[in-house]
Structure 1
Amino acid sequence: MGGSMTQLNSFSVPDFHLPFGNSKHPLAARANAEAATWAVRHELVTDAVDQFAGIGFGHLAGRVSGDVPYETVVLLAEWMAWSFVLDDQHDHLIRTGEVAAWRPVAEAITEHLATGSAGGSGARRNPLVKGFVDVCDRILDGMPEGPAARYRAHVPLMLDSLDQEAGNRGGEGRPTVRDYILMRRHSSQILPMMDMVEAGLGLDVPQRIHDLPEFKALVASALDVISWGNDVFSLPKEHSCGDNNNLVSLISSWEGCSLATAVRAVEGRIQDRIEEYLAGERLLTETLDARGETDPQVRAAVSRIVRSYEDWIIGADLWQRYECTRYSDERFAAGLESAYTRPGLVSVA
């Protein structure tokens, strides 16, 4: 992989010049503490709880949720807390060569989504599965039909993408940049959260709108800006532990350039993607006009969900810069596992 750790010692994340404003829920810090307590109660985290809370999932939830009741922000923060544990546990199994232990957990989660039951396997007693069942059931309770169907579809795709990441770090080797970008839209774990935000705002944008190529392109642009930005923030960790699931590392590797050059290349790609996102907003409006989508409720819902995607783009960036200690933590930046990662969690029955 191009570059060396000496190059990353003075690593700084560029300003991506995101053209959006952002506000944060006034009780985001409280939601963060409550979500951390939830994770401890479900035995997802047992040590270094303050460091775990330093991820700042409540702050991110407060930046992307919009003007919603506090309980809605807490629920998203709890899902985010679970998602970070999921990600770290999967990474742990890759490091220890125990990826086979992942399948029963993923299957129990998928089965619960499909049937409302985590099955009869020992995996359903695992804290990761039990935590999922608790938060998933509360998410789906009262969720409008459209966002619920999309959430049920997106979570398995998210789990599949983690398997792809494991393959990229194992025998399958580095993916192409194009394949990585497609996978990253799911491994970012954002799509189920976007479904939650849509529901939390009281929206149910019709599936026919979600299926429009112009709408899908807009979502893809937002996901790419967020995911590629995150790859820059997390580069020191992924580079130092040999994880090739990072756009900067892949560009450096495929194009034979330094990491510094690759960071500038990703910065340029992000700027291009933002321009495509802004053009995509205009194109979506024109498309809805041309299709005769004049229902004021539908148009208002589309307008609000588009604003929500802007919240995601700027909110994720501000969160990583100012409210999240995960990417500046010395252990993390050195490629080590976080102090709060429970080594035997997935094998716990």
Structure 2
Amino acid sequence: MTRLDSFSVPDFHLPFGNSKHPQAARANAEATSWVVRHELVTDAVEQFAGIGFGHLAGRVSGEVPYEKVVLLAEWMAWSFVLDDQHDHLIRTGDVAAWDPVTAAITEHLRTGRTSSASARRNPLVSGFTDLCDRILDGMTDLTAARYRAHVPLMLNSLDQEAGNRGAGGGSAGGAGRPAVQDYVLMRRHSSQLLPMMDMVEAGLGLEVPQHIHDLPEFQALIASAVDVISWGNDVFSLPKEYACGDNNNLVSLISFWEKCSLADAVRTVEGRIQTRIEEYLAGERRLSETLDTLGETDPSVRAAVTRCVRSYEDWMIGADLWQRYECTRYSDERFAAGLESAYTRPDLVSVA
């Protein structure tokens, strides 16, 4: 990999408006308290709160009730702990310890219970069960089914990331480095965005019928939005991932496979993001035309689709603004140096 001599995040020119919930800061404080109460974080609490998950939740939630903003902020906070603790196990070569945690989470998601008493006492598992029960309680059966499908895909993608950072991962010719397109597909789940989008849609009271949700045009919109957010995040997080040798970054992969400098790879990703935004806007028009062709005239259905489309726009611009102005994670010196966060609990996965 080439050197990272200097680095600045480009302006991705997202053509969307955004407003933040007026109580986003309160949601951030409440979600931080929830994390501490569940013993997911016991040290460097102020640093953890600086991630600003409440601000992100407030930017992407639209006009949902405040209690739903807090719930989303708590889920986001749990997700950051999940990601950082998984990273810790990769660093220490103890990824096998992750299996009981994911098994307990998926069991509860599927059955509503966790049979292992020791797993139930693990903060990651107990935190998940608390959140999951409240999340599903506020969802229709259709949205709940999507959420239940998305969470295991999210967890599986973490295993894929671990494989990419191991000696045996990746494609031929680049040990530990997946092909760019393989990475793009994995990143749609490792971003952890899809369960959160389900939560926002539930909070907004939206239910897009399954036959419309399954349309290629609708799925293409979701993929475009998730790619824009994920690739932008890869640029923001490049210093940390470069510093610790993490191959799970679109910039690093393009630099490697296309044999170009990291600066050129950043520009390539910037161009890809702009193309993806254009594809998203064109996709909006195609979706509307497809619904016309199908004779879908139900006002409530068209309104739900339109609001979903606007929600994805909130996600794209909201995530960008949060990373630039409200999140200390990507500017923190430890993070940029590739070190573990000070709030990471080395013993968390083994806690019982």
Q: Do they superpose with TM above 0.5?
A: yes
Do structure 1's residue 107 and structure 2's residue 103 form an aligned pair?
yes
Kindly indicate whether the alpha-carbon contact (under 8 Å) linking 1:225 and 1:270 is maintained by their aligned counterparts in 2: yes
How does 1:203-282 map onto structure 2 within 5 Å? 203-282=206-285
What is the deviation of 1:125? 1.4
C-alpha separation in 1, matches of 2:40 and 2:325: 25
Matches of 1:150 and 1:107 in 2, distance apart? Answer: 19
1:257-336 matches, within 5 Å, as: 257-336=260-339
Which residue identity lines up with residue 152 of structure 2 in the other structure?
P
User: Quick one: distance in 2 between partners of 1:135 and 1:275?
Assistant: 36
CA–CA separation in structure 1 for the residues paired with 2:115 and 2:208: 32
Q: Which residue, out of 80, 93, 98, partners 1:84?
A: 80
Aligned equivalents of 1:99 and 1:332: distance in 2?
A: 21
Residue 164 (1) aligns with residue 160 (2): yes
Q: Deviations over 1:52-89 (max 9, x none)?
A: 00000000000000112110100000000000000000
Say whether the 8 Å CA contact 1:168–1:174 is kept in structure 2.
yes
- Amino acid aligned to 1:341: T
Once residues 142 and 260 of structure 1 are traced to their aligned partners in structure 2, the CA distance between those partners, rounded to angstroms, is 45
CA contact (8 A) 1:225 1:313 kept: yes
SS in 2 for 1:344: coil
Q: CA deviation at 1:121?
A: 5.0
Q: 1:145 and 1:161 mapped to 2: Cα distance?
A: 25
- The separation in 1 between residues aligned to 2:115 and 2:197, in whole angstroms, is 27
Matched, 1:182 2:185: yes
Distance in 2 separating the partners of 1:176 and 1:316: 26
Q: Does structure 1 conserve the Cα–Cα contact (< 8 Å) formed by 2:138 and 2:202?
A: no
**CA displacement, residues 152-172 of structure 1 (integer Å, 9 cap, x when unaligned):** 000000000000000000021
CA distance in 2, matches of 1:124, 1:159: 18
* 1:36 and 2:70 are equivalent in the alignment: no
Q: Which residue of 2 aligns with 1:19?
A: 15
Match of 2:43 among 23, 32, 47: 47
Aligned to 2:114: 118
Q: Which residue of 2 aligns with 1:138?
A: 134
Instruction: Tell me the distance in 2 between the aligned counterparts of 1:293 and 1:120.
Output: 48
| CA distance in structure 1 between the aligned counterparts of 2:227 and 2:88, rounded to whole angstroms | 25
d(CA) in 2 for partners of 1:341, 1:207: 40
Structure 2: segments with no counterpart, 5+ residues? 170-175
Q: Percent same amino acid at aligned positions?
A: 84
The correspondence for 1:66, drawn from 59, 62, 83, is 62
Per-residue deviation, 1:310: 0.1
Please give the TM-score of this superposition, normalised by the length of structure 2.
Answer: 0.97
Q: Distance in 2 between matches of 1:285 and 1:123?
A: 47
- TM-superposed CA distance for 1:147, in Å, is 1.2
Could you list the per-position Cα deviations for residues 129-181 of structure 1 after superposition, in whole angstroms to 9, with x for gaps in the alignment?
A: 00000011000113111111100000000000000000000021110000000
For 2:346, the aligned partner's letter is: P
Contact 2:85–2:348, Cα closer than 8 Å, also in 1: yes
In 2, are the aligned partners of 1:161 and 1:186 still within 8 Å (CA)? yes
In the alignment, the residues of structure 2 paired with residue 29 and residue 169 of structure 1 have an alpha-carbon distance, to the nearest angstrom, of 36
Check whether the contact 1:145–1:204 (CA below 8 A) recurs between aligned residues: no
Amino acid at match of 2:151: V
The CA deviation at 1:247 is 0.1
Q: How many Å separate the matches in 2 of 1:62 and 1:108?
A: 30
Deviation of the 1:196 alpha carbon = 0.2
Which is further off, 137-146 or 242-251? 137-146
Shift of 1:123: 1.8
User: Are residue 341 (structure 1) and residue 337 (structure 2) matched?
Assistant: no
Gap regions ≥5 residues in structure 1 = none
Q: Distance in 2 between matches of 1:142 and 1:70?
A: 14
Any idea what SS the aligned residue of 1:271 has?
helix
SS of residue in 2 equivalent to 1:143: coil
Tell me how far apart the structure 2 counterparts of residues 347 and 260 of structure 1 sit (CA, whole Å): 40
